[in-house]
Amino acid sequence: MFQPRWQVSSPLPQRKSPPRFVGLVPIRFDQMAFAFKADPAISIRYSPHRTKMKAMIKSLERFDLFNDLPKQALEKIAHLAHKETYQEGSILFSEDASALNFYLVLSGKVSLEKLVQLGRTGTPRRASISIICSGQALGWSSLVAPYKYTSSGVCLEETTTLVIPGEELRNLMADDPAVGFTICQRIASIIRGRMTSATATLTYFLSIVSHELKRPMAAVENYIQVLLGGYAGELSDKQTRLLERSSLRLSDLRSLIDDILDFARMQPDQIRADFKWVNPREISAEAIEEVRLAATQKDIHLKTTGPTEFQPLVAARRRFRQILSNILANAVKFSPEGGTVTLIARDEPEAFVVEVLDEGIGIPLEDQPHIFEDFYRASNVAEFGGTGLGLSITKKIVEAHQGQIEVESPYQPDKSGTKFTIIIPRSLTVPGGLTLTKSDSE
């Protein structure tokens, strides 16, 4: 029988861990014995940390933000990251909370939600604004001041993420400017792409919805005008009043749809592209006519004050009329029956100035700093309809004209009411840089 022979070059050390092979080691193959001399300096070691690090780096490379970064940078980021699994319904972060972590979604889905409330009196509702899936990132607010989450992240199903502390990632980017610059470029590109896509989708959706809503509304409005015109027979006074009120409600609904659509797609460059020389007197008269029916229903007197002729002005005609009609419509809406709404216009050397005064409920002092914010409604208008977008859109149009809009409420002692002042500068030019000479203005 084959008996292997051991030849030991030195005694084995006494230790608890498995010893290395040293000396001659027999290997039997097909009844033949071979021996090799193992190197005492070589030992086989298993490193779970190293394996975990490689897996972490491989996970990071799945994301556009970190793909193709230098290996050393990826190792540093991998040291910061840890894997977390969240159950369905778990909240990763809450809107307005301190933005502590940046998340990379390995599997699952996360809904980004915002709390929407129309003014102080509206009912708060959560609206989903985006769905983040595997291979996408969220928690960008942890990388950008003021480091507050702008939405809430809610898991729609079991979700696994890589969690990276935002402050530590920012420090790493600051310590390695080259890597930091690359990451910042990629962040800008990713966010820009998401914003462009979201804006385009929203605008398209609202355009379709508004078209489908406005088409039947236009038909109903036409039928009402036919009835009011007496073409379908004589109407009683009561029937006439009811139809006029219905016409006003439809007009309000059309304005609401237009406001939402304007809010989604209004861009200053688009407004400035429509700049042309306009007659302020004509536009003011058109704005007055737009609100005349609503004023008549409340027996409100519309009063205009100013010169009979004005100097020509550079403005986007339709948008400038929208500024005036929005302010006038608000004045009529919030004024009592039998009140007066006054429009005062005047030329100044450097600007065209319009003031709209009403005798309405006024705007509480604590609300005045916020009335131009999107969807904001003052605390005393709960009984009135509206979206809180009219003044927000008005200010956007004024700013596109490089102008100013100011509010004063109350504007006279011991009386309620509000005064809005709109200032449009005369320094604007039409596309192509054309200006009006002194002889033209004469």
d(CA 53, CA 36) in angstroms, rounded, equals: 35
pLDDT of residue 379: 84
CA atoms of 411 and 409, how far apart (whole Å)? 5
Is pLDDT at 210 greater than 80 in this prediction? Answer: no
Token readout for 326 is 């929005």
* Arithmetic mean of pLDDT over the chain: 83
Determine the Cα–Cα distance for residues 56 and 252; give it in Å rounded to an integer: 57
The H or E element containing residue 116 is strand 110-116
Q: Provide mean pLDDT across the span 23-46.
A: 46
pLDDT for the residue 121 = 58
Q: Where along the chain do the CATH 2.60.120.10 domains lie?
A: 48-175
Which backbone phi and psi does 328 adopt, to 5 degrees? -65, -40
The CA distance from 120 to 137, in Å, is 33
Choice among 84-93, 217-226, 271-280 with the minimum mean pLDDT: 217-226
In the structure, what pLDDT confidence band is assigned to residue 244 with cuts at 50, 70 and 90? Answer: confident
Hey, what long-range contacts does 168-172 have (CB within 8 A, 24 or more apart)? 168/80, 169/77, 169/80, 169/102, 169/142, 169/143, 170/143, 172/73, 172/76, 172/77, 172/80
Q: Is the pLDDT of residue 156 over 50?
A: yes
Taking residues 288-292, report their average pLDDT. Answer: 92
Architecture (CATH level 2) of domain 48-175: Sandwich (2.60)
**Pairing label, strands 340-348, 301-305:** parallel
DSSP line for 60-79: HTTSTTTTT--HHHHHHHHH
The verdict on domain 188-265 having CATH code 1.10.4100 is no
* 422 three-class SS: strand
Instruction: Report whether pLDDT(118) > 80.
Output: no
Give the relative orientation of helices 237-265 and 177-228 as an angle to the nearest 10 degrees.
160
Give the lowest-confidence range in 43-47, 133-137, 411-415.
43-47
Rg of the chain in Å (alpha carbons): 35
Scanning 134-279, the segments in alpha helix (DSSP H) are 166-175, 177-228, 237-265, 268-272
Give per-residue burial for 11-27: e unless 16+ CB within 10 Å, then b: eeeeeeeeeeebebeee
* Whether pLDDT at 403 is above 50: yes
Q: Is the pLDDT of residue 376 over 50?
A: yes
Distance from CA of residue 355 to its chain's centroid?
31
Query: In the chain, pLDDT over 70 holds for what percent of residues?
Result: 85
Task: For residue 428, give the 3-state DSSP assignment.
Answer: coil
Give me the pLDDT at residue 47, please. Answer: 58
pTM of the model: 0.58
- Who contacts 192 (Cβ-Cβ below 8 Å, separation ≥6)? none
What confidence score (pLDDT) does residue 34 get? 43
Q: Are 143 and 102 in contact (CB under 8 A)?
A: yes
Tell me, what's the pLDDT at 258? 78
The whole-angstrom separation of Cα 337 and Cα 360 is 9
d(CA 214, CA 202) in angstroms, rounded, equals 18
Q: What pLDDT is recorded for position 165?
A: 96
Residue 369 is given by DSSP the state G
Centre a 10 Å sphere on the Cβ of residue 54 and count the other Cβ atoms it contains: 12
Q: Where in the chain is the domain with CATH 3.30.565.10?
A: 267-441
On the CB side of 138, CA atoms within 13 Å amount to: 29
What's 267-441's CATH class? alpha beta
Among candidate residues 81, 130, 77, 128, the one with its CA nearest the CA of residue 101: 81
The mean per-residue pLDDT over the stretch 106-119 comes to 84
Out of 48-62, 81-95, 101-115, 320-334, pick the least confident: 48-62
Residue with structure tokens 């809904």? 111
How far is Cα 333 from Cα 123, in angstroms, rounded to an integer?
Answer: 22
Looking at residue 99, its pLDDT comes to: 95
User: What confidence tens digit (pLDDT) does each residue in 64-98 have?
Assistant: 899 889 999 999 999 999 999 999 999 999 999 99
The predicted model gives 97-113 an average pLDDT of: 95
Q: How many CA atoms are closer than 13 Å to the CA of 228, on its beta-carbon side? A: 15
